[in-house]
Homo-oligomer: A and B are copies of this chain.
Amino acid sequence: MPEKLKIAVMASGRGSNFRSLALSCLEESFPAAISLLATDNPEAGALYIADEMGIETAVVDCGGRRGSMTPDSSSKLAELFRKRGIGLVCLAGFMRIVKGELMRIYSLRMLNIHPALLPSFKGLHGQRQALEYGVRYSGCTVHFVDEGIDTGPIIIQKVVPVLQEDTEETLSARILKEEHRAYPEAVRLFAENRLRIEGRRVFIENEKRRNSDAD
């Protein structure tokens, strides 16, 4: 059995997508394993989950400006990941735009999950935006991270209905359930080296073959 792809997860909040990824990684047949949880928030709930599950954590001060990261913190994260042989970075509720060295080094090896059917409702509060716009369907999107905000090539989307009686909470819960399915699926496809990007489109190859230098 080939060595598993090493993942770093970056989260700022409670870490529910981190948890679902970590649970998937416990399955023997899953082709990836989480080596590190990195966060910009010393209060992140994700830290407790990591501790419980025996996953190494790193809290990195990304600077005072909300939504952004300092060049220093970007370099520090990149170095943390490089040292551990991280082959894929998964943003899971990480509340800053990734840029600098981390972006350069992990370009095309960094995924994000967004609670809307992109390109609709980019940015913060995708669920609330969907509700206020009055769409009949929303969902979630796992995509490659590029320089824009929620603009990278799409790997997986899941659709959920928006119900008339929905609040932001009920819609978010329905979408979150799909997020917890979508992210592990996308990571598996990446780890199995089945994703091929052409322009903006991501093609999924049926043939399963391992990236021999994934580790």
Tell yes or no: A104 within 8 A of B by CB.
no
Bound Cα distance from A112 to B187, whole angstroms: 39
Beta-carbon contact of B137 and A159 below 8 Å: yes
Beta-carbon contact of A135 and B117 below 8 Å: yes
Beta-carbon contact of A157 and B132 below 8 Å: no
Contacts A117-B120, A164-B204; is A154 near B135 (CB within 8 Å)?
A: yes
- Give residues of chain A (112-143) contacting chain B, Cβ–Cβ below 8 Å: 117-121, 131-137, 139
Contact among B118, B136, B199 for A132, CB-based, below 8 A = B199
* Interface range, A side: 20 to 34
Beta-carbon contact of A203 and B164 below 8 Å: yes
Tell yes or no: A201 within 8 A of B by CB.
yes
The 6 closest A-B pairs by CB, nearest first: A134-B201, A136-B157, A134-B200, A120-B120, A134-B154, A119-B120
Chain A positions within 8 Å of B, measured between CB atoms, are: 117-121, 131-137, 139, 153-154, 156-157, 159, 164, 199-204
- 18 sampled A-B residue pairs with Cβ under 8 A: A117-B120, A117-B135, A118-B120, A118-B135, A119-B121, A120-B120, A131-B201, A132-B199, A133-B200, A134-B153, A134-B199, A134-B200, A135-B154, A136-B157, A137-B157, A137-B159, A164-B203, A164-B204
